[in-house]
Structure 1
């Protein structure tokens, strides 16, 4: 199955980045509506920049950084990934980890967008009326649909950032598999073998690699 669209919102997940000076954050109080608006803006940008992306695959990094990352809580996600290792790091190590983790995820999830085809894929969003006012953490359900294939379930875990006064995603669950949990297991293993400084160095190296194409697993029948 191709592309997990706004995967990355998260993204997970690709967490953080620089917002263009002219951009204004979407501050809808309903995270379902915010996510739909963000998805539409991101897909329009991909279509608009298609020629640039075809010329240089790494241009997709810029699209993700500018369109999606302001709505991804990369610090919160990074803390979750570090888990119990967080208390064993210095403030300087934590800040450095947050930065390289963000850049690493931008590169990782940029690969998913290389598979997106605006002529084949559509996103179906959950009912916005399911949101209960006053909630500060929610799971927004969406589905990636391609004709002739089973739909893929994409569940975005979101929390309200009181500092920025905006809803942000911190995890993406694809067909029941949490990307945040997957990264936590992966990075915890590296920390055990290489320490936090070795892990930071490895993530920095991977973040600088050329964007690689990645496919999603097939949806459930």
Structure 2
């Protein structure tokens, strides 16, 4: 699980919350190219803010919010996670769920980011040989490389074109054949059965508000 969350966090940075006023979306009609551009910008930001991260781990939330979230379709992902439970919710409950699911993801990624070391980890990108112009859903393949001879981790991004924002966004990540979306769907479905949708929203809200801790302390 530790390798999973590290891979997830590192990968999704390469993959909607308000951005800083000066921030501009990186745009490219080719999702492969977009992913690499976002990755390079985000990894540079992590290295630049390393002192701030070491002084306060909660700063990772700022990086995720500003660099990653604009390119993650968390609403589409949240709908997929809810699955058949979506039709059993009110509009108010759905909006609350989208918000807490987004904030929960930010906190989850922030915790796993404490394991990331830009001096040891790199990401390799497959080129867009199979991308067809006009496509609206694609799978972008990357690999997480760690120094020390460990086998590369395969990371397959599922991306869709957001017609509203006019930008490609990631909605799922498959790590070594295991889908984040499917895993979260099973987890959330179990919580909803036990606590109902309102109880699930409250539980996610509480988890989202927890302080960021070194990942070793949060691992079960």
Q: 2:17 aligns to what SS in structure 1?
A: coil
Q: 1:130 aligns to what?
A: 130
Q: Are 2:8 and 1:7 aligned?
A: no
Q: 2:154 aligns to what?
A: 153
Q: CA deviation at 1:206?
A: 0.3
Which segments of 5 or more consecutive residues in structure 2 lack a partner in the other structure? none
Q: What is the CA–CA distance in structure 2 between the aligned matches of 1:137 and 1:58, rounded to whole Å?
A: 33
Q: RMSD in angstroms over aligned alpha carbons? A: 1.5
Q: What is the CA–CA distance in structure 1 between the aligned matches of 2:157 and 2:138, rounded to whole Å?
A: 8
Q: 2:139 aligns to what?
A: 139
**TM-score scaled by length of structure 2:** 0.92
Q: Are 2:87 and 1:87 aligned?
A: yes
Do 2:11 and 2:144's aligned partners in 1 also have CA atoms closer than 8 Å? no
Comparing 157-166 with 19-28, which one deviates more in the overlay? 19-28
Higher relative contact order (Cα pairs below 8 Å, separated by 6+ residues): 1
- 44 and 213 in structure 1: CA distance in 2 versus 1, 3 angstrom threshold: same
Which segments of 5 or more consecutive residues in structure 1 lack a partner in the other structure? 216-221
Task: Count residues with an aligned counterpart.
Answer: 211
Do 2:75 and 2:98's aligned partners in 1 also have CA atoms closer than 8 Å? yes
Do 1:155 and 1:173's aligned partners in 2 also have CA atoms closer than 8 Å? yes
Do 1:10 and 1:170's aligned partners in 2 also have CA atoms closer than 8 Å? no
CA deviation digits over 1:163-212, x for unaligned, max 9? 11000000111111111111110000010110000000000000011224
**TM-score scaled by length of structure 1:** 0.91
Q: Are 2:194 and 1:176 aligned?
A: no
Q: Which runs of 4+ in 1 moved over 4 A?
A: none
Q: CA deviation at 1:27?
A: 1.1
Q: What is the CA–CA distance in structure 1 between the aligned matches of 2:14 and 2:27, rounded to whole Å?
A: 17
